[in-house]
Amino acid sequence: MSAKTNISLKKGLSFILVALLLGAGAGFVIWLFLYLEHIGITFIWEILPENILTLNPSAAKWFPLFICTCGGVIIGIFTKFFGSYPDDLEEVLEEVKKTNRYAPRLVSVLFFAALLPIVFGGIVGPEAGLAGIIAAVCTYIGDRFKRTAKEMTEMTSVGAAAALSIVFHTPLFGFLASVEGEDGFEFPKKSKVIVYLCTVLSGLGVLLFLTDLFGGGMSFFKFEGRVIARNDIPSFIIFAVTGIVLGYIYNFSDIFFEKTLKPMREKPIICSIFVGVIIGLSGVFLPYVLFSGADSMGEFISDIGSLAPLYLILLALVKILLTNFCVRSTWRGGRILPVVFASICAAGIFAGTDVDFIFPAAVITTVMCGMILRKPLTVIIIMFLFFPASNIILLTASAFLGSYIPLRKNR
C-alpha cells in the first residue's frame, strides 16, 4: 500500500469516526430535547392543573387560556432578549445547502426557543428547531477544524439532514429533504453519503437507547390497511380534491399571516401574548387543536367515528390556520406533524362511509404534504412513518400530484 493511499485511508476512517461521534452527539441532543419536552408538558398540562384546579374546579375549562397566555409572556420576553427562533425548516436547509454552514448562534438559545412554544401548547413540531440546533453545533465544530480539515465544513449539511432522520426515525428522510428540490436533485459526493449514513445510524442508536433507558422520545401512530383498487378511482379523486383544497387554504393562510404578523413581530412581547391568547381560546373550545398532534393522534383516531363531520372540518381548518399563525409569529417551530394531524381530521368526515378510513387519510395527508414540501420522494418517505409501505402506489400518486399543483409563492 502506497503512502498516499495509506493517508487517504486514515483520513477516510477519521471522518467516519467523527461522523459516528457527531451522530451520537446529535442523538443525545435530540433525546434531551424530547425528554425535556415530555417533562415540561407533563408538569404544565397534567401535574399543575391537578393542584391548581382543586382550589377552583370551575376554572378547568379556561385552563388552556391561562397556560397559553403565560406561555406568551415567557416566549415574548425570551424573544425580545434573544431573537426570534427557530428558523423555518426550509430556511435552515437552504442556508446550509448554499453555504455549508448555519451562522453560529448560542445553541442554548436555539434549544429553548424551540422548546418553549411546544411545552406551552403551540401548534408546531420539533423538527425545525432540532435541525437548526444540530446545524449550529456542526458549524461551530467545523469552524474549529477548518484549518486542518476543509471537509469538516460539510458536516453542517450532514448534521442538519441527519437531525431530521433521527427525529422521525426515518433514515432516508433527512437525506432526501436536503438533496431534493423543485428543480430536481443535487446529489452529494459518495463520501458525504457514507458520512451521513454513519451519522444517522449512530444518532438513532443513541436516541433509541436513551429513550428505552430513561423514557421520553416521540411516538407516531401508524395505520394498517390495503392498497387502492381500480374501482376506488372515483373516491381517490374526491379525496385528492379535498387535500388540494386544504393545501390551498394552508398556502394562502401562510402568505396572509406572514404579511399581517410581520409588523407585530417588532413588538415580540405583545405579539407573543396575543398569539398565546388566540391559541388558548382555541384550546378551550377545541382541545385537540393544541400541540402538534403526534402524541394524541392514536387517541383521536379511536374517537373519530363519534365526532360530528362539522366538528372535524372546523378542527382541521383551525389546526391549519393556527400552524401558520404560530410559525409566522414568535411561536415558531415545525409544520409537518400539525399538517398531518389536520389532514387526518379532514379525512374523518369520510369515516362513516363504506371505504376503509386509511384510504382518505393517506390520500388527503400525502397530497397536502406534497403541496407544502414540493418534494414528492421526501413526502413518500415521511408518509411511511404513518402508513404501511404496501400502499406505495397510492402514496406515490398522491405525493406527485400534490407536489406539482401550482401554488402562489410566499415572498
Average pLDDT over the chain, rounded to an integer:
83
Listed residue (181, 180, 131, 140) closest to 158, CA to CA: 131
* Cβ-based burial of 392 (10 A; exposed 0-12, middle 13-18, buried ≥19): middle
Locus of grid cell 436516541? 207
- Cα-Cα-Cα-Cα torsion 364, 365, 369, 375, nearest 10 degrees, comes to -90
User: Is pLDDT at 168 greater than 70 in this prediction?
Assistant: yes
pLDDT digits (tens, 9 = 90+) for 278-299: 999 999 999 999 998 888 888 8
**C-alpha to C-alpha distance for 81 and 1, rounded to whole angstroms:** 57
pLDDT digits (tens, 9 = 90+) for 345-360: 999 898 777 778 888 9
Looking at residue 285, its pLDDT comes to 92
Region 380-402: mean pLDDT is 89
Looking at residue 7, its pLDDT comes to 44
**C-alpha to C-alpha distance for 39 and 45, rounded to whole angstroms:** 10
pLDDT digits (tens, 9 = 90+) for 193-222: 777 788 888 888 988 899 888 887 777 788
**C-alpha to C-alpha distance for 144 and 130, rounded to whole angstroms:** 21
pLDDT category at 74 given cuts 50, 70, 90 is: very high
pLDDT category at 276 given cuts 50, 70, 90 is: very high
Buried b (16+ CB within 10 A) or exposed e, 284-308: bebebbbbbbbbebeebbeebeebe
Name 6's Cβ contacts closer than 8 Å, sequence gap at least 6: none
**C-alpha to C-alpha distance for 389 and 362, rounded to whole angstroms:** 11
329 and 365 Cβ atoms separated by less than 8 Å = no
Looking at residue 371, its pLDDT comes to 92
| Domain(s) of CATH 1.10.3080.10: residues in the chain | 3-214, 230-403
Q: Is the peptide bond before 57 cis (omega within 30 degrees of 0)?
A: no
pLDDT category at 183 given cuts 50, 70, 90 is: low
**C-alpha to C-alpha distance for 410 and 261, rounded to whole angstroms:** 14
Domain 230-403 in this protein, CATH class? mainly alpha
Looking at residue 76, its pLDDT comes to 95
**C-alpha to C-alpha distance for 27 and 150, rounded to whole angstroms:** 25
> Phi, psi (5° rounding) for residue 334?
-85, 160
Looking at residue 60, its pLDDT comes to 75
Query: Quick one: fold of 3-214?
Result: Clc chloride channel (1.10.3080)
pLDDT digits (tens, 9 = 90+) for 111-155: 999 999 999 999 999 888 888 888 888 777 766 665 445 555 566
Considering Cα of 18, then 19, then 24, then 30, what sign does the dihedral take?
positive
